[in-house]
Amino acid sequence: MNHEKVATVATQKSGAPSSSSRPPRRFETCTIARLLAYGHAQDKTAYARSIGYDGDRPVVVQDGKVISHRWADWFEFCAACRSRARRRMH
């Protein structure tokens, strides 16, 4: 039996929240497209690039969290982009 299945079964029996109640670590491209289409999320890639982001993935924000980057806080994500851009300049 798989260790993940054993852990999930154990937490479900103990009454603790299961791992399925947590948000996914990374959304699929089609899921992000749906969130953008229905207005639940915003594409902030252009702004992120203007402050120093140089990654390949789009920057998608929902409720103050960067859902395309493991649910990072939006303001912390921006601060990290600015910090990296400053280090590259010096």
Report pLDDT digits (tens) over 11-58: 444 444 455 566 656 667 788 888 888 888 999 999 999 999 999 999
Complete edge-to-edge strand list for the sheet that includes strand 60-62: 42-43, 60-62, 65-66, 72-73
Q: How far apart are CA 60 and CA 18, in angstroms?
A: 26
Number of domains the chain is built from:
1
- Report if residue 13 sits inside a domain: no
Half-sphere exposure of 35 (CA within 13 A, CB side): 18
pLDDT at residue 21 in the model: 61
Which of the pair, 7 or 75, is modelled with greater confidence?
75
Range of the domain at 31: 25-89
Which of the pair, 89 or 14, is modelled with greater confidence?
89
Q: How far apart are CA 20 and CA 18, in angstroms?
A: 5
- Report if residue 85 sits inside a domain: yes
Each residue's pLDDT tens digit, 54-79: 999 999 999 999 999 999 999 999 99
